[in-house]
Amino acid sequence: MASIVHVNTYTHSVTYVTDQMLRSLKLLVTLIGLDQTKFIEQWPIYERGVKTWLESGHLQTVILEVSHPSHGLVTRCDFSIDYGYGNGDGSMWVDTEALKYSITKIGVIPAQCNYSVSVLTAAGRPSVEGWGTGTLLPTTNFIKQSLGTTIGTHAIGAQAGYWRKIS
Name 44's bridge partners: none
Task: Confirm whether pTM is higher than 0.95.
Answer: no
Percentages helix, strand, coil for the chain, rounded to the nearest 5? 30, 30, 35
* Residue 131 in domain: no
Band of residue 5 on the pLDDT scale cut at 50, 70, 90: very low
CATH number at residue 78: 3.30.900.10
**pLDDT for residue 6:** 40
- Count of domains in the chain? 1
Residue 134 included in any domain:
no
Would 45 be classed as within a structural domain?
Answer: yes
**Cα 18 from Cα 122, distance rounded (Å):** 17
Report the distance separating Cα 66 and Cα 24, nearest Å.
15
- Full domain range(s) for residue 64: 9-124+141-165
Q: Do the domain assignments include residue 82? A: yes
78 assigned to some structural domain: yes
Residue 57 inside a domain? The answer is yes
* Residue 156 pLDDT level (bands cut at 50, 70, 90): very high
Helix (H) or strand (E) holding 150: strand 142-152
Q: Are 79 and 158 in contact (CB under 8 A)?
A: yes
Three-state DSSP state, 24:
helix
Phi first, then psi: give them for residue 20, nearest 5 degrees.
-70, -35
Looking at per-residue confidence, does 87 or 146 come out higher? Answer: 146
- Strands across the sheet containing 114-121: 93-94, 142-152, 157-165, 72-82, 59-68, 114-121
> Do the domain assignments include residue 43?
yes
How much is the pLDDT for 59?
Answer: 98
Question: By percentage, how much of the chain surpasses pLDDT 70?
Answer: 94
Domain for residue 119, yes or no? yes
pLDDT tens by residue, 41-90: 999 999 999 999 999 999 999 999 999 999 999 999 999 999 998 766 77
Q: Give yes or no for residue 4 having a pLDDT over 70.
A: no
